[in-house]
Amino acid sequence: MAAPLELFCWKGDWGLPSVDTESLMVLAYARFSGAPVRVHKLSNPWRSPSGVLPALKTEKDVVSHPLQILAYLRKRKYNADYGLSATQAADTLAFASLIEEKLLPALIYKEARECLTLLSQRLGSLKFFFGDSPSSLDAIVFGHLAPILKAKLPNSKLQQHLRSLDNLCALCTSILGLYFPNDSSDADRSSKKVPRNNSSDSDEDPHKRRSQVLSVLVGLSAMIGYAFLSGILSIQRVSTHNALRQPSPLEDDDVDEGQ
């Protein structure tokens, strides 16, 4: 019997199964396609078999890039896009590129706002982007929008605009309710837990110093991202040229740094 697939991703918060865009994207696609994946939620990427998150451990290898993880699952017949037409597949690529260029950095508010508006117009009154079943485009959109929607950001113009687009908010809420009912509640409980004293485990961790450095770097990155999303900082671009099936249950295995 083949070894089960194991997905290593960032831990969740804000009522989300993960706070990381790429981890959310892969988690959602795995649920949409019914892939039998065991999930390990980490707060330290060095505990991943590849040293980065998300990462999918297969029988023979480790796949790290989120789009490559999706491609691997499709090859294993876990395909959330099997029913898409050629036009819909082309739309998926086009909107994925739009999100990557305009929304992912979330640095230029005007372009990010336009991206959200276009996504809202494309979704319209549909439950998912291509009808009643979610696809990779829904996974990509969910991965990018859910953190913006759920993060506790004071005076975030982009968050306010997203919340004004009812259909996109409903999409995120629907995916959370249908595919992550337990994960979201676990994330809420985890954020309220009183930290344990794991000093003995930490002392035995050979990567303790690296973990401390990582924590500082992650904190700095979070502060910078927070400033951008809140509108405290902005970047002006110099050049403007560039223009399903029912999910099978996933087994979650929360892992802390001190373990």
pLDDT in tens, 93-112: 999 999 988 886 655 788 99
Determine the pLDDT at residue 107: 58
Other beta carbons within 10 Å of 138: 26
Determine the pLDDT at residue 250: 60
Fill in the DSSP letter of residue 101.
I
Q: Which residues of the chain have pLDDT under 50?
A: 1, 185, 187-188, 190-191, 193-209, 211-220, 222-224, 226-248, 256-259
Alpha-carbon torsion 114, 119, 123, 128, what sign?
negative
d(CA 72, CA 79) in angstroms, rounded, equals: 10
d(CA 231, CA 153) in angstroms, rounded, equals: 10
Determine the pLDDT at residue 128: 98
Closest alpha carbon to 149 in 11, 20, 14: 14
Determine the pLDDT at residue 219: 43
Fold of 5-191: Glutathione S-transferase Yfyf (Class Pi); Chain A, domain 2 (1.20.1050)
d(CA 113, CA 53) in angstroms, rounded, equals: 28
Structural element, H or E, at residue 200: helix 199-204
Determine the pLDDT at residue 96: 93
In the chain, at which residue ranges do the beta strands (DSSP E only) sit? 5-10, 37-42, 55-57, 62-63, 251-254
Closest alpha carbon to 38 in 62, 9, 4, 63: 4
The pLDDT tens digits for 141-150 are 999 999 999 9
Determine the pLDDT at residue 152: 87
Determine the pLDDT at residue 94: 96
Determine the pLDDT at residue 108: 79
In the Cβ-directed half-sphere of 197, how many Cα atoms lie within 13 Å?
1
Classify strands 5-10 and 55-57 as parallel, antiparallel or unpaired: antiparallel
Q: Tell me the one-letter amino acid at 181.
A: P
- Domain ranges across the chain: 5-191
Determine the pLDDT at residue 251: 55
